[in-house]
């Protein structure tokens, strides 16, 4: 049966947050978890990247939210939602939903996720999108009796557990590749296996900056790989693409082909240096914040990318990069001058074969995860339509 709908303001109150002054050290690095949009990595907040002190909490507009409440971003990461498993203070970009009556927390969580697209659509702002509490409070959700809320939440919990398990397996495959690299080649900084040393440029036939042409949302000749399409671990995510046309003269310089390397030369200090191997059969254009590297006969592109993505090299790059107006930068010359181990090509190729096998598994698992996402969406829609 279909359930009646209620406005959020009728069943919850909203509690906001704030940020202690950054210049007062005694307000920070203390015992109270302080949540921001950075902590929305799953449907549960079990820890936070930042901590504040009791003094910091008292001196700011932040609020301490007891464990077991739904928290949503109202700025930047619109559409996300999570339950805090621990007591957390929150910053000004978040709102906690405090039930006024008989509301099951898990049901409320899935209801907010069901509103995800509407929340995004109602966000406003030229650069960073935000949504007001007034708009949020007027959204409506189906509101069955408490026992039915719990039954629906239990069904969606089971579906979400399957999705979480698949996501965890994908993470474990990535960890496996990192461990395999270290086992085969050793620490890239200390070089315990005594490999001959050189620089990245020794392993490359050529390097090119990407195109500075403006990309468009309209379908054109080539999709464009931008720095946002590259994940921290070196994956390429094509879920959000823009497009451009290239002249015959531009194509050799600004197209990425299979087994070529892409290096993110400009980004925040934490993200600069992300490196990926382009594995698609069809070429794609790449933007100016990226450098394309073509491996020469002495190196495997998979080895070079894995080397660049080790935690040791990411730390090296953070210390090496130059800050330019809030962004960090490593130019092509600096990229090519990075010290690198030069193990035998045959060993690099063994590693590349392992990467290829793992990538095939990841493709299959991502396809299964997409099916589980579709199942979850279908269950969610049926639940809120009273059809479960």
Is the Cβ–Cβ distance between 131 and 125 less than 8 Å?
Answer: no
DSSP 216: B
Per-residue b or e along 89-107, where b marks 16 or more CB atoms closer than 10 Å to that residue's CB: bbbebbbbbbeeeebbebb
CA atoms in the 13 A half-sphere facing the CB of 152? 30
SS3 for 278?
A: strand
Q: Quote the pLDDT of residue 272.
A: 86
Q: What are phi and psi of 296, to 5 degrees?
A: -90, -170
Domain residue spans in the chain?
Answer: 5-143, 145-179+344-388, 196-342
pLDDT digits (tens, 9 = 90+) for 43-56: 999 999 999 999 99
Mean pLDDT rounded to a whole number for the chain: 92
Query: 5-143 falls under which CATH superfamily?
Result: DNA methylase specificity domains (3.90.220.20)
Beta pairing partners, 169: none
pLDDT digits (tens, 9 = 90+) for 129-163: 899 999 999 999 999 999 999 999 999 999 999 99
Residue range 322-329: average pLDDT? 70
- 114-128, 233-247, 279-293, 316-330: which range is least confident on average? 316-330
H/E run at residue 165: helix 146-185
Question: Is 196-342 in the same CATH topology as 5-143?
Answer: yes
At residue 65, does pLDDT exceed 90?
A: yes
| Tokens at 86, concatenated | 């621990």
Q: Quote the pLDDT of residue 371.
A: 93
For residues 151 and 155, give the distance between their C-alpha atoms in angstroms, rounded to a whole number. Answer: 6
At residue 326, does pLDDT exceed 70?
A: no
| Tokens at 127, concatenated | 């650069």
Query: 196-342 falls under which CATH superfamily?
Result: DNA methylase specificity domains (3.90.220.20)
User: The sheet that has 322-324: what strands, in order across it?
Assistant: 266-267, 327-329, 322-324
């Amino acid at each position: 049966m279909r359930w009646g709908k209620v406005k959020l303001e009728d069943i919850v109150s909203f509690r906001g947050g704030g940020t202690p002054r950054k210049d007062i050290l005694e307000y920070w690095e203390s015992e109270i978890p302080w949540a921001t949009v950075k902590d929305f990595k799953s449907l549960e907040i079990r820890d936070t990247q930042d901590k504040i002190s009791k003094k910091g909490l008292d001196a700011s507009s932040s609020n301490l939210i007891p464990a077991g409440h739904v928290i949503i971003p109202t700025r930047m990461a619109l559409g996300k939602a999570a339950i805090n498993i621990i007591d957390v203070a929150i910053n000004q970009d978040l709102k906690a939903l405090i039930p006024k009556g008989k509301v099951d927390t898990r049901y409320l969580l899935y209801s907010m996720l069901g509103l995800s697209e509407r929340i995004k659509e109602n966000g406003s702002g030229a650069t960073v999108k935000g949504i007001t509490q007034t708009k949020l409070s007027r959204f409506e959700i189906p509101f069955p009796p408490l026992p039915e809320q719990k039954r629906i939440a239990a069904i969606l919990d089971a579906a979400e557990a399957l999705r979480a398990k698949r996501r965890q397996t994908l993470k474990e495959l990535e960890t496996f590749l990192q461990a395999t690299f270290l086992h085969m080649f050793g620490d890239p900084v200390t070089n315990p296996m005594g490999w001959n040393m050189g620089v990245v440029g020794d392993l490359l036939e050529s390097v090119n900056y990407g195109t500075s042409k403006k990309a468009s949302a309209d379908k054109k000749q080539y999709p464009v790989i931008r720095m946002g399409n590259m994940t921290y671990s070196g994956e390429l995510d094509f879920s959000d693409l823009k497009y451009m046309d290239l002249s015959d003269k531009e194509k050799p310089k600004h197209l990425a082909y299979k087994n070529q390397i892409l290096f993110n030369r400009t980004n925040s200090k934490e993200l600069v240096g992300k490196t990926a191997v382009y594995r698609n059969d069809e070429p794609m254009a790449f933007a100016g914040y990226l450098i394309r590297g073509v491996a020469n006969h002495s190196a495997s592109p998979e080895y070079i990318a894995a080397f660049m993505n080790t935690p040791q090299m990411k730390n090296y790059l953070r210390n090496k990069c130059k800050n330019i107006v809030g962004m960090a930068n490593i130019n092509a010359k600096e990229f090519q001058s990075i010290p690198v181990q030069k193990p035998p090509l045959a060993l690099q190729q063994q590693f590349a074969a392992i990467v290829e096998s793992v990538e095939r598994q990841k493709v299959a698992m991502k396809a299964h995860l997409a099916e589980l996402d579709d199942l979850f969406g279908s269950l969610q829609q049926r639940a809120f339509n009273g059809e479960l």
